[in-house]
Structure 1
Amino acid sequence: MILGWNIVSDFGSIRISNATAFFVIRYVSVGNGFGGIIFNNVTNGRVVNSSVNMYCDGAISVSSSRNVVLAYNQAESGSGSPNECGGDGMDIISSTNVVVADNSFPWSQGDALHIAGSNNVTVTGNSFSGSAFYALHLLGSSNTVVSDNSFSRGGLEIAGLSTAPNSYTITSDNLVIGKPLYYYDGCGPSLTLDGVSVGELILVNCSNVRLSNLVIHGTEVGITLVGVHNVLVENVNASQNHYQGLDVSSSSYVTVENSDFSSTGPNYFDRGAEYGMILSGSNNTIVDGSRFYNEDGSLEVVSSTNATITGNSFNPNFITIYATGSTGVHIFHNNFFGTENTIQPGQVWDNGYPSGGNYWSAYTGVDNCSGPQQNICPSPDGIGDTPYSIPGGVYHDHYPLMKPFVASSDPSISINQTSSFQGVTVTVTGSLQVSSGIVSGTVSLTATNSTSGAVLFSKAYIVTNLQISNNRTRFLLNVAVSPYSLSADVTLSLKNGVWSASMMVTRQLDMAGRGTVDIVDFGVVVATFDRSIGSPLYDPAANVTGSGTVNINDVGIMSAFFGAPNYT
Structure 2
Amino acid sequence: MNKHLTIRSENGSANCIVSASNLNDHVFEVTRDYVNISGFTVENATKRAGIYFHTVEHCNISYNNVTNNDGGIRLYYSSNNTLINNIASNNYHDGIYLKSSSNNTLINNTASNNYYDDICSSICGIYLYDSSNNNHLYRNNFINNTNHNAYDYDTITNQWNTSTVGNYYSDYTGSDNKSDGIGDTLHQIPGGSSIDYFPLMHPWGKSPLKGDLDDDSQITSKDAAIVLQIAVGNCPCNPQILAIADVSGDGRVSSLDALMILQMAT
TM-score bracket relative to the smaller structure: 0.5 to 0.7
List alignment gaps of at least 5 residues for structure 1: 1-188, 190-205, 265-273, 370-379, 409-568
Output the aligned Cα RMSD: 2.1
Which residue in the other structure is 1:307 paired with? 104
Is residue 367 from structure 1 mapped to residue 176 from structure 2 by the alignment?
A: yes
Matched residues in 2 for 1:402 and 1:254: separation? 31
Q: TM-score, normalised by structure 2?
A: 0.64
Q: TM-score, normalised by structure 1?
A: 0.31
1:340-351 to structure 2, matched below 5 A, reads 340-342=146-148, 343-345=150-152, 347-351=158-162
Is residue 394 from structure 1 mapped to residue 158 from structure 2 by the alignment?
A: no
1:28-427 to structure 2, matched below 5 A, reads 207-213=3-9, 215-218=17-20, 219=22, 220-226=25-31, 228-242=32-46, 243-263=48-68, 274-293=70-89, 294-315=91-112, 316-317=114-115, 318-324=123-129, 325-338=131-144, 340-342=146-148, 343-345=150-152, 347-353=158-164, 356-369=165-178, 380-406=179-205
Matched residues in 2 for 1:310 and 1:229: separation? 20
| Partners of 1:259 and 1:290 within 8 A in 2 | yes
SS of structure 1 residue aligned to 2:82: strand
| Partners of 1:244 and 1:261 within 8 A in 2 | no
Matched residues in 2 for 1:217 and 1:357: separation? 33
Higher relative CO (Cα under 8 Å, sequence separation at least 6) belongs to 2
Q: AA paired with 2:103?
A: N
Q: CA deviation at 1:260?
A: 1.4
1:442-521 to structure 2, matched below 5 A, reads none
Structure index of larger Rg: 1
Q: CA deviation at 1:305?
A: 2.0
Matched residues in 1 for 2:97 and 2:160: separation? 15
Q: CA deviation at 1:225?
A: 0.6
Q: CA deviation at 1:340?
A: 2.7
SS of structure 2 residue aligned to 1:297: coil
Q: CA deviation at 1:295?
A: 2.2
Q: CA deviation at 1:344?
A: 2.5
| Partners of 1:341 and 1:391 within 8 A in 2 | no
Matched residues in 2 for 1:401 and 1:282: separation? 28
Q: CA deviation at 1:348?
A: 1.0
Q: AA paired with 1:368?
A: N
Which residue in the other structure is 1:97 paired with? none
| Partners of 2:125 and 2:145 within 8 A in 1 | no
Which residue in the other structure is 1:89 paired with? none
SS of structure 1 residue aligned to 2:103: strand
Sequence identity of aligned pairs in percent?
A: 25
The ranges of structure 1 where at least 4 consecutive aligned residues each deviate by more than 6 angstroms after the TM superposition are: none
Q: Assess, with a 3 A threshold, how the Cα gap between structure 1 residues 231 and 403 changes in structure 2: closer, same or farther.
A: same
Matched residues in 2 for 1:395 and 1:327: separation? 11
Q: Assess, with a 3 A threshold, how the Cα gap between structure 1 residues 254 and 407 changes in structure 2: closer, same or farther.
A: farther
Q: AA paired with 1:360?
A: Y
List alignment gaps of at least 5 residues for structure 2: 10-15, 116-122, 208-266
Q: CA deviation at 1:341?
A: 4.4
Q: CA deviation at 1:332?
A: 1.0
Matched residues in 2 for 1:367 and 1:341: separation? 25
Matched residues in 2 for 1:237 and 1:286: separation? 18
| Partners of 1:311 and 1:407 within 8 A in 2 | no
